[in-house]
Amino acid sequence: MASPPWLLSATEGNDDGAAGDENDNGEGIEDSFAVMRSDMSGRGRKTAEDKAAIVDDGDAEAGAGVVIVSEDDAAAPASVSEEANRRIRRLLDRRVLPLVCCLYVLSYLDRGNIGNAKTAGAKRDLGLDSSQWAWVLNAFYVCYVAFEWTTMFWKFFPAHVYVSVLCLCWGAAAMSSGAARNMAHLVVARGFLGVFEATFGAGAPYFLSMLYRRKELGFRMSLLVGMSPLANTFASSLAYGITQIRGSLAPWRLLFIIEGSLTVLFAPVAYFFLIDSPSTAPFLSKEDKVLAVQRLQLKDSTAKGGVKWKQVVAGFSDYKNYVHALIHFCANYSFSALSNFLPSIVKDLGYDSVKAQGLTAPAYFAAFLVCVAASYASDRFGRRGLIVAGTSALGVIGYGLLAAVQDDARAGTRYAGVWLAACGVFPALCINVTWVLNNQGGDSKKGAGLAIFLTIGQCSSFISSVVFPESDAPFYTKGCAIGCGLTGVILVCSLCMSFALSRENRRRDLMYGPVDPNVEVDVTNEGDAHRNFRPDRVPVKPVACNLNSPTHPFHSPPLHIQPSTSIRRRRHAFLSTAPAIAAVWLPLRQTAPSTPAPRPWELSVGRQDTILTMVSEQSPLLSNEGEAQASNRAEHDSDGGGSGSGSDKRRRWSRLREAGIFVWALVATAAVIVIAVWAQHNQQTSRAPSRSDKRNLVFMVSDGMGPASLALTRSFRQHVDGLPENDTLVLDKHFWGSSRTRSSNSLVTDSAAGATAFSCGKKSYNGAISVLSDYEPCGSVLEAAKRAGYMTGLVVTTDITDATPACFASHVLLRQMQDDIALQEVGHGVLGRSVDLMLGGGRCHFLPNGTDGSCRADDVDVIKLAQDKYGWTYTDSRDGFDKLKGGDKAHLPLLGLFASSDIPFELDRKNMNDVYPSLSEMAKTALRALERATSGSDKGFFLMIEGSRIDHAGHINDPAAQVREVLEYDKAFKAVLDFIGDTDTETVLVATSDHETGGLATALQEPGHLPVYNWYPEALAKASASCERLAHKLQDHVSKQSTPLSQPDLKAWINNELVIPGLGVTDATDEELSLLAADPEGATNNFAAVISLRAHVGWSTHGHTAVDVNVYSSGGPEADRIRGNVENTDVGKFLSHYLGVDVDTITKELREKTARPRVAAAGADEAALQWKSSYHEYEGMQ
């Protein structure tokens, strides 16, 4: 269909005609329609002279007139001067583009903060495992992909209303995530967020395509889509700042609420300042509104709210849309995949985690700059396909480097690969969006094509978790190889598409002739089958404008409408404008039936401009005709005096009422969300004390204790003490959650890797003492606490140089390096002294070689060094411990080593006249000593207490020894709770295990027996010695014999002196006694088998297991961060978070002061020898 036959424009007229003869006017209207019908039937035969002859020269005045353009004239190229183009483009760039970009950034922040929320504790607080968290993530993407077809809704609603409502909705959904109490709540909130963001995110490019010409769209689209990497450069910093806020709400909840509220508050800005279309832009003049519509090369006259279903079907059947969708799928995968390994690559360069996060930003920013440059070039030269192919070639090279280079020493090369991949893939991602929009003929097809494009393209979000498993870290070879292949697909598809479209354009040029790049192409009915439509060809010639051209809409001779006393002259003037008036009058009758139709002679300047806007039928798809008419009627009323004062008041009242309802909805929504969050947290936090600068943290480790150990001990205690079956341990009353225990190189961790997770908050390999997988040290929470002004302490029942205590105060590659650990613990390391109190065993590692009771390999007297150089007070006996008076007489720093190696099992210690202090006694003394030491300080203390020998009992499968160790640990736990109840300083207790040992199973079922599931605690109650002590007695007895004992004699001695009095077993079989007599060195395990069988207790291993272990807490401020099922590193991160200390700063200092050659994983033993030389003071001692 050609353009409308009449284009009317006027300047200023005389309103006196309103007083004319009504009867005559009525007849004029009837006659005018008759003339109009006859005139329209022959309008195609009018010449320019005929049109000019209609004008009554007597009615014309300078500067006024009506331009009457024929159908042939309307089909001519719409010439708009380059100056007008620049003026309109700049206004759109200043008033619309920043607003849309801001909305895009807000949507990115609201969808991307889920990762920061996880880091801040959302996953652990809600008790979600990895699979459940995956559901939370996928809920957003599923809904996002499922609702990207809603692009077409932009045709039906005014943009300022539609976008502001979407903004309000997705902001409210983001805020609602902060109120989630379980997985279901968070999944629902994220799902709604995906629905509303999909509706906006998919439609934003569509919206811009209705404002800018094809040759201008690429650059603007790069700015819009480029908001994602730009937002990525500051999103983490913003999230970090928000999560540092201390209050009654968990930091991750504040993150959702604050960032979501920013979006909600921005909704009114979108409502009042976003335009619906160029024809309704308040910042454009009347002439510019017309030019802004005319300047768009493609014209689709489909009515507002209408859909050309033929175009929709064409969009779904066009192969080009599926090729574009495939390119988007590949580019989306390739770009988003970079975040999986970029931080680890930067860390391999030697930077700590904070700098690693910061150094990820340059690659994204460079990608943005290259994207802008490439998009500008694609606008300038008009060949988007070739530019997409060129940039994707860089991506292929980058991903090729990432897949091929798998050497830590070449991390710089891999970092360069990330830059090439990012700078190659992201421009292709952005330009492809513009390319698919340019290749659509018709707005309805554009909506359908974009829906296909985005729906298929976004599906790549689901596969990254499959091809980038954590087990492939840090190189992710499989994922990088797939990225290289998919980026190659982009290269091939873009070249093939470009060549195919060029071939199609040449065919059309041969068939129809070349197309003037300035020509307006009406694709309303024919779509991209129009003879003048050229896909993948953006006009690059400047648009010429000749105001003197007879085809220009403002050129025709003017006509001034002025009422005349002569009815004949007034009718003549009216008849000349009757077709145009009718074209406006009838729609006005339909859209506002309650308002009287305007009389033709009452047309003033504003109403004639309304005719200009409406009859042109060139309003874009997003324009709202009713609103455009209302806007122009308002202009008419303001220019024409009081004739429209009543309707003007009604319109103003309607506008105010609409704004009031919107504001009320905004405030009500925000209030409901805030009240809901507050109410859900009020009960939980009402009794929590406010955060103070002074606080204590006690961290307890039950080495090797699993859930089955608790069940066995609980039942044993009930039997021994005659307690009811529902009686529980003190630990049970403070159950908090569970922890996953794996190390970086094994599903089953050892104590060293487990304690490194607690001390550093990071995973490491088995055997590492606060050293990470790159064989570089990591700062511990104890060292950071000491540096921040806290007092620190370690209490254990094993060697003080054993894995768990060592990880808090030393750094070595292998846990066997206990001589070095002893030196560092007393302060002889790169950080100096970090510990103020150490109580436990392991004296042999502090005595010089050659001294009685020493196990050192060198002649260093660590005790003397500690006393002389670092001021330690030393004690090594029960008498010395008693002189501490429960901590009241302790002088820090205090070193108490009460055994040469391990402090005996609690089962044995009680039978040794209390020669050794118990765990609970040492815990009470340490608590009191540290409290006194911090009484005048504004900082509290950090104390680590380990029930070390639970693990040892599990290793030898001794149930009698283990239940006593667990009971003593429970007693120490109660001692800490009592201290918390008595102290005025805010104190939190957290307790957990590093792993489970032994694979304990109560109620053993023997092969072939019925599953009766009985167990007999009385068998354990009869034991008076551990299997370890009994084995030592057997070995001593055998070694003291001058002549070997006969087997019968030895078996009798074992039964009478060890089994019966020590284990309480009176029915030992000959086979059991024979095994004990035959192998005294391995007697420990055989003794354990005897008592385990009597108690019906089973064991699956003599080592560790991968069982999740329990977490316990006294509660208190921020302890919700470790609720639910968490990683062991989450426990470590909570320790530093609660104390407010910076572990990364200690890590940086350690790495700067520890110069050591990089070694491969296979060289760990050799590296362990090299490690000594890194401590410069230690070198001086050799």
- Chain segment 1002-1046, per-residue pLDDT in tens: 877 777 776 778 888 999 999 999 999 999 999 999 999 888 889
Over pLDDT 70: what percentage of the chain? 68
* Residue 1111 pLDDT: 97
Beta bridge partners of 1126: 739
* Residue 181 pLDDT: 86
Confidence of residue 321 (pLDDT cuts 50, 70, 90): confident
In the predicted structure, residue 272 carries a pLDDT above the cut 80: yes
- Ranges of beta strands (E only) in 458-547 are 521-522
Give the position of tokens 């201390």.
Answer: 246
**Residue 994 assigned ligand-binding role:** yes
Task: Tell how far CA 527 is from the center of its chain.
Answer: 41
772/769 Cα distance (integer angstroms): 8
Q: Poorest-confidence range of 96-110, 130-144, 724-738? A: 130-144
Residue 936 tokens read as: 């005048």
Q: Which of 301, 392, 751, 1114 is catalytic?
A: 751
Task: Tell how far CA 574 is from the center of its chain.
Answer: 66
Instruction: Read off the pLDDT of residues 778-792 as tens digits, 9 standing for 90 and up.
Output: 999 999 999 999 999
Instruction: Read off the pLDDT of residues 112-137 as tens digits, 9 standing for 90 and up.
Output: 788 778 777 788 778 777 778 878 88
**Residue 946 assigned ligand-binding role:** yes
Whether 142 and 238 have beta carbons less than 8 Å apart is answered as no
The residue that leads in pLDDT, 68 or 1102, is 1102
DSSP state of 675: H
Integer CA distances (angstroms), 702 to 780, 843, 966, 980, 1121, in order: 19, 22, 8, 20, 20
**Residue 914 assigned ligand-binding role:** no
Instruction: Read off the pLDDT of residues 831-857 as tens digits, 9 standing for 90 and up.
Output: 999 999 999 999 999 999 999 999 999
- Give the 3-state secondary structure of residue 986: strand
Return the amino acid letter for 984: D
* Residue 351 pLDDT: 55
Q: Does the annotation count 751 as an active-site position? A: yes
Instruction: Read off the pLDDT of residues 6-57 as tens digits, 9 standing for 90 and up.
Output: 233 333 333 333 333 333 434 433 343 343 334 433 434 334 333 333 333 3
**Residue 891 assigned ligand-binding role:** no
In the predicted structure, residue 625 carries a pLDDT above the cut 70: no
Whether 780 and 809 have beta carbons less than 8 Å apart is answered as yes
Confidence of residue 359 (pLDDT cuts 50, 70, 90): low
Whether 814 and 877 have beta carbons less than 8 Å apart is answered as no
Residue 38 tokens read as: 């006859």
Return the amino acid letter for 942: F
* Residue 536 pLDDT: 57
Return the amino acid letter for 884: L
Confidence of residue 676 (pLDDT cuts 50, 70, 90): very low
Instruction: Read off the pLDDT of residues 924-956 as tens digits, 9 standing for 90 and up.
Output: 999 999 999 999 888 999 999 999 999 999 999
Return the amino acid letter for 519: V
DSSP state of 599: P
**Among 446, 444, 464, 442, residue whose Cα is nearest residue 454:** 446
**Residue 328 assigned ligand-binding role:** no
757/771 Cα distance (integer angstroms): 10
Query: Which of the listed ranges 93-102, 121-130, 837-846, 1166-1175 does the model predict with the highest average pLDDT?
Result: 837-846
* Residue 444 pLDDT: 64
Give the position of tokens 């009985």.
Answer: 1014
Beta bridge partners of 1113: 990
Integer CA distances (angstroms), 978 to 9, 33, 732, 832, 975, in order: 90, 99, 16, 33, 5
* Residue 115 pLDDT: 76
Longest Cα separation, the chain: 150
Mean pLDDT score of the chain, rounded to an integer? 76
Whether 701 and 710 have beta carbons less than 8 Å apart is answered as no
Start-to-end CA span in the chain (Å):
97
Whether 68 and 581 have beta carbons less than 8 Å apart is answered as no
DSSP state of 1054: I
The residue that leads in pLDDT, 335 or 845, is 845
* Residue 537 pLDDT: 54
Residue 812 tokens read as: 């070595």
In the predicted structure, residue 264 carries a pLDDT above the cut 60: yes
The residue that leads in pLDDT, 71 or 838, is 838
* Residue 402 pLDDT: 83
Cis peptide before 893 (omega within 30 of 0): yes
Instruction: Read off the pLDDT of residues 868-902 as tens digits, 9 standing for 90 and up.
Output: 999 999 999 999 999 999 999 999 999 999 999 99
Q: Poorest-confidence range of 195-209, 248-262, 700-714? A: 195-209
192/169 Cα distance (integer angstroms): 8
Whether 1015 and 960 have beta carbons less than 8 Å apart is answered as no
Contacting residues for 881 by C-beta, under 8 A, at least 6 apart: 875, 896, 898, 917, 921, 922, 925
In the predicted structure, residue 1056 carries a pLDDT above the cut 80: yes
2/678 Cα distance (integer angstroms): 62
**Residue 719 assigned ligand-binding role:** no
Return the amino acid letter for 127: G
Average pLDDT, stretch 246-259? 82
**Residue 703 assigned ligand-binding role:** yes
DSSP state of 1077: H
Give the CA radius of gyration of the chain: 41
21/27 Cα distance (integer angstroms): 10
